[in-house]
Amino acid sequence: MRIASGSALVTGGASGLGAATAERLVADGAPVVICDLPGSAGAETASRIGATFASTDVTSEEQVRAAVAIAAELGPLRVVVNCAGIPEAVKVLDRSRRATDLDRFTRTIAVNLTGTYNVLRLAAEAMVDNPLDDGDRGVLVCTSSIAAFDGSVGQAAYSASKAAIAGMTLPIARELAEHAIRVVTIAPGMFETPLFLGLPEPAQRSLAQQVPHPSRMGRPAEFADCVAFVVGNGMINGETVRLDGAVRMAPR
């Protein structure tokens, strides 16, 4: 499917992987709606790259519907990329060996997993009547993580949410196949996002050295390249693609 054949929507598009993806989609000819929280840099990012900003909490049906409607006004909604998420680190037991607050787990699931599903279902609803473009009506791209497969200590909530995204990819792809809508998930490794760039320089170097090849953090533009490849290749469907330089996360 051609990126320029319709509009695109990117959640978590204010910074990091989402911002790079939105910029790539604009460069490839799609009118893009960036969805992010009101306190984010979403409006500034949208202005910089020539996109439209929609203040959106991905767990809200009303706000996601409104963002989807904005995208649909710009052209048939063809591409949706789910990058919104929170990197909550929480152990089962705290330092005093007491159970940690359950709300921290459920919030991570709500934003990362339920938020992704909320966007998927409402975007799919908007795509079902699109005219075909090279056999596709739309492509839904989700963001998992290598933590879905080899999470470290303290990543139980994050890993659970990301593993569930990978797990629902195939059944949703199979369901939406009759509507010619593809569903693909990308599982990035360690990338130059605000989370990692906020670490001390020695910690960044240590993490980068764990990547077999290339021995560095991934660049957000490389994630965006993968999104563009997924959209353009009609045979990629129902799959989770690791984008990680062959790294496997250590227990700690």
Select the more confidently predicted residue: 57 or 87: 57
Separation CA 244–CA 124 (nearest Å): 28
| The predicted structure's pLDDT at residue 43 | 97
Mean pLDDT (the chain, rounded): 96
Strands 138-143 and 52-55, how do they pair?
unpaired
**Residue 88, pLDDT above cutoff 90:** no
Separation CA 139–CA 115 (nearest Å): 17
Mapped onto helix, strand or coil, the DSSP state of residue 60 is coil
Q: What is the pLDDT of residues 109-137, one digit of tens each?
A: 999 999 999 999 999 999 999 999 999 99
Give the active site residue among 158, 190, 237, 243.
158
Beta bridge partners of 11: 35, 82
- Active-site residue 158, yes or no? yes
**Residue 188, pLDDT above cutoff 80:** yes
Sequence-ordered list of residues with C-beta below 8 angstroms from that of 202, at least 6 positions apart, any chain: none
Q: Which domains does the chain have, with CATH numbers?
A: 3-242 (3.40.50.720)
**Residue 195, pLDDT above cutoff 80:** no
Most confident range, picked from 60-74, 146-160, 201-215 = 60-74
Asked whether 9 and 73 are in contact (CB, 8 A), the reply is no
Separation CA 108–CA 140 (nearest Å): 21
Asked whether 243 and 211 are in contact (CB, 8 A), the reply is no
| The predicted structure's pLDDT at residue 194 | 84
